[in-house]
A and B are shown apart, each in its own frame.
Chain A
């Protein structure tokens, strides 16, 4: 008995491609994360920060993924609105909870990083503040998807919101930086990173990105399968009714 083909070619291609890539991406992610961790814990204490510098190896990668995920959602939204690509909405929606979680991790690790330095669990540092606003952007995006019942409308509205947010994000970051210099806040990350810290950081960042890619693929595949299941149930209901 033949497995029923998916109605659209695109999702089928994605299923094939992602199915082939997934094991490799996951494996590479794991290798990168383990390598990064091992390297990370072998660094010498930083001149100013002591060993807390190792928090950078989980904070900065989370931040990088959080921002990349939003960029990905914005790009997918563009594809959805302009070219009506069938998978774009699914991809955008699937990325959002991941992005929100990475943002939350960035905030928590940033807070723990700042605490030994300034004695407070939260400072209105420019990056943390921008990050907090990014978290709200994610939550709003997810809330909009969940609030609108009609899937097509929800997809379009969410796409518009994502693009408006993407245009705003540089403005938000600029204004927060401006605000921060006005009030002379602290800064977690000063400009230069010594090479001995750079390698663990880059490898961890790579691991985080690969992990995001793997989880993103899994979530898109899940939605494709769910859509297929829904259409089968619909057909069954139509036949019975």
Chain B
């Protein structure tokens, strides 16, 4: 298992690369999804107020 994490001595570069990539992708997904939910919520509230 430690061999896996060490990655032949390059672990210090490989894991941050993957970690930052994952963070970046998650950040984009989260921000996009949160913006959508907020927008949808606002529209639904407005449409309910409409006759």
Task: Check B13–A215 contact: CB distance below 8 A.
Answer: no
Q: Is A52 close to B, CB under 8 A?
A: yes
Cα distance A79–B50 when bound, in Å? 34
Stretch in contact with the other chain, from A55-63, A160-168, A175-183, A192-200: A55-63
Cα distance A232–B42 when bound, in Å? 11
Task: Check B17–A113 contact: CB distance below 8 A.
Answer: yes
Cα distance A113–B12 when bound, in Å? 11
Interface residues on A, range: 35 or more
Residues of B contacting A211 with CB < 8 Å? 25, 29
Known interface pairs A58-B21, A229-B39; A115-B13 also in contact (CB < 8 Å) = yes
Q: Interface majority SS on B: helix, strand, loop or mixed?
A: helix
Interface residues of B in 16-40 (CB under 8 A from A): 16-18, 20-21, 24-25, 27-29, 32-33, 35-36, 39-40
Task: Check B50–A226 contact: CB distance below 8 A.
Answer: no
A211's closest neighbor in chain B, by CB? B25
Task: Check B24–A105 contact: CB distance below 8 A.
Answer: yes
Cα distance A222–B42 when bound, in Å? 11
Task: Check B8–A50 contact: CB distance below 8 A.
Answer: yes
- B7 interface neighbour in A3, A51, A59, Cβ under 8 Å: A51
A55's closest neighbor in chain B, by CB? B17
Task: Check A226–B39 contact: CB distance below 8 A.
Answer: yes
Q: Which residues of B contact A (CB under 8 A)?
A: 4, 7-10, 13-14, 16-18, 20-21, 24-25, 27-29, 32-33, 35-36, 39-40, 42-43, 46-47, 49-50
A-B contacts besides A219-B32, A236-B49, 18 pairs, CB < 8 Å: A41-B4, A51-B14, A52-B13, A55-B17, A62-B21, A104-B24, A105-B25, A112-B13, A115-B13, A116-B10, A215-B28, A222-B36, A225-B36, A225-B39, A229-B43, A232-B43, A232-B46, A236-B46
A-B contacts, 11 of them at CB < 8 A, read A55-B13, A58-B18, A58-B21, A102-B24, A108-B20, A115-B13, A218-B36, A226-B39, A226-B43, A232-B50, A236-B46
